[in-house]
Amino acid sequence: MKKVIGIAAFAVLGMVALSSCKKDYTCTCTATVGEISSSASTTLNATKADAKEACEAGSTTGVVCSID
């Protein structure tokens, strides 16, 4: 029984540790005016959810930002 509890605790800690890892994500924003488009990229060091939220916050009319 102790062995099962130990393995379960290790698995839960492993999932928590991996789910909150900060990584580098590339946010690319593309602006389009008529037929002309331009893009710029920046690197965000955050969790995937935070990076996606920060990147998409840069989207406005004519500008689309997304995580690559």
> pLDDT by residue (tens digit) across 5-50?
445 444 444 444 555 689 999 999 999 999 999 999 999 999 999 9
Q: Report the C-alpha gap between 45 and 50 in whole angstroms.
A: 9
CB 36 within 8 A of CB 29: no
Instruction: Answer for the pair 42, 61: CB distance below 8 angstroms, yes or no.
Output: no
Residues with Cβ within 8 Å of residue 59, at least 6 apart in sequence? 29, 65
Average pLDDT over residues 54-66: 93
Q: Which residue in this structure is represented by tokens 């997304």? A: 66
57 near 27, Cβ under 8 Å? Answer: no
Domain parsing of the chain, residue ranges = 22-68
